[in-house]
Structure 1
Amino acid sequence: MYKFRPKTLFLGQKINYLPSCQSTNDVASSLITGGNVLDGTVVITEHQTAGRGQRGNQWEAQPGQNLTFSLILQPSFLQANEQFWLNIAISLGISDWLTTYVGDRLKIKWPNDLYVQERKIGGILIENTLYGYTLGWSVVGIGLNINQTRFRVPTATSLSNETPNDHDFVLPDLLPGLLESLERRYLALRSGQRDVLKTNYLQVLFRYQEESAFIADGARFRGVIVGVEETGRLAIQVGDRLRSFAFKEVEFVF
């Protein structure tokens, strides 16, 4: 089904297709453990029975309707404390691709989600293995809502819902362009183009420089996102105080 060669140097040159599996991230991790895997390998499935999201949530995806896959990368050029740069590159790669369909309504919600205005269209789950002080292997799980039109939560959406289509997207036809977009941003990171990546990231960051409501330590407050620190912490200006939050320490209020 996914028998193609994207126009990439390495990303997606090897594709492992599974009709069904619990989690593509788990399959990818097993391939790494087995020791016989190539940098850039893709594991993709039509039906992920136990897909994981951030905060331990389960990823809702109807079988055969969405893109659910994992990338196997070897970003040994990144130090352990630079892991968030991989998030930036991956989320920008997806953002670039989705923007061709939905325009500037596409936003990256810190730390790992893709939104069309106020609705979630995709998510990323990156699991890293450290070799000393550098990254060894990274498994990048990506879930994108494509043809699914109904969701249990009102804040979810899909490419089909957000575009004026009268037919379903053909999933195998979408993947090559997405992989090419992801590789462009990953190679930019590998070649040291961090200033450009950071600038582009802030340009599409969800609620950047907008006053918004948040919850931290059980308390609700209002603040303005002013940036993302090198370590990935979200910087929020709260009155005359600048606060920073790690993953799971702060929630957005919708």
Structure 2
Amino acid sequence: MRLIKLDAIGSTNDYLKDLAKAENLSEFTIVTAETQTAGRGQRGATWIVEPGKNLTMSVFVKVQMSETTQLFALNAAVALTILEVLKTFGIPELSLKWPNDIMSGRTKVGGILIENSVKTDNSVASVIGIGLNVNQTDFEGLPNASSLALVSGVFFEKDEICIHIASALEKRLEVFEKTSQKIWSDYQQNLFRKGKPTLFQDLSGDKFMGIIANATKEGLLEIKLGDDSIKSFGIKEVTMLY
């Protein structure tokens, strides 16, 4: 495990991708930054953190997959690993908001952005970007955002959380192929608001009530509508309003 600690960078994911192009990068190379000026979220949204207060990290991994449909299973494996680690730090009411936001109660405390490069032999080189709101306490104008400190009443050492996540992720990915079915069932069980009536908004701006029925292995969200029909949505096609 190689750890590169930076003071300020545009994006840890971009830095790690450029590094992978420039050298034969060893697996589980980790980049962290105290300040990230061009962080990105899953839907292309900008992710800005208060300098020095939060954990911004990217991890380079290589995973062998029997089929590329397992790409979303990799997302699920990473998300579940973070939940597993945060539970050991006493973070309450953890769940996963589709596709890969980390929730504590009804507030978001982190998120994941994975960028994959698929090879012809179905091996995948991935840069796993993880952002966790750790010790930040001011989220003015962001009513659904929170931090580990706010939800637990405890301030944390960011480096300790980083190393725990990296170690747990390494162990989980060692058995990724053998445990993909369990990963999938665990992801379903931890889905935020699964089975509960929820307000959504589609791309046209129309709002509708529905119930999360399932998240497919391809990464689609299946929502049960008022007429009992099931409709599937891609990552950028629907927003949960909660």
**Shorter-chain TM-score category?**
over 0.9
1:64 is aligned to 2:52: yes
Match in the other structure for 1:107: 95
1:130 is aligned to 2:118: yes
1:140 is aligned to 2:128: yes
For the residues of structure 2 that align with 1:80 and 1:114, how far apart are their CA atoms?
A: 24
Aligned residue among 156, 168, 185 for 1:181: 168
For the residues of structure 1 that align with 2:143 and 2:89, how far apart are their CA atoms?
A: 21
Cα deviation code 1:45-93 (max 9, x no counterpart)? 1111111112221112111111101010111325333210110000000
Cα deviation code 1:207-238 (max 9, x no counterpart)? 11111111123221111111111111111111
Alpha carbons 1:80, 1:133 under 8 Å: kept: no
For the residues of structure 2 that align with 1:164 and 1:104, how far apart are their CA atoms?
A: 11
1:158 is aligned to 2:144: no
Please report the TM-score for the alignment, with normalisation by the length of structure 1: 0.88
Aligned residue among 191, 202, 206 for 1:216: 202
Deviation at 1:182, TM superposition (A): 2.1
Secondary structure of 2:223's partner?
Answer: strand
1:51 is aligned to 2:39: yes
For the residues of structure 1 that align with 2:157 and 2:110, how far apart are their CA atoms?
A: 17
Please report the TM-score for the alignment, with normalisation by the length of structure 2: 0.93
1:87 is aligned to 2:70: no
Displaced runs of 4+ in structure 1, greater than 4 A? none
RMSD: 1.6
Unaligned runs of 5+ in 1: 1-12
For the residues of structure 1 that align with 2:110 and 2:229, how far apart are their CA atoms?
A: 32
Aligned residues: 239
Match in the other structure for 1:5: none
Give the share of equivalent positions with the same residue, in percent. 36
Alpha carbons 1:93, 1:184 under 8 Å: kept: no
For the residues of structure 2 that align with 1:142 and 1:78, how far apart are their CA atoms?
A: 25
Unaligned runs of 5+ in 2: none
**CA pair 184-70 structure 1, distance change in 2 beyond 3 A:** same
Secondary structure of 1:74's partner?
Answer: strand
For the residues of structure 2 that align with 1:33 and 1:228, how far apart are their CA atoms?
A: 33
Higher strand share: 2
**CA pair 250-78 structure 1, distance change in 2 beyond 3 A:** farther
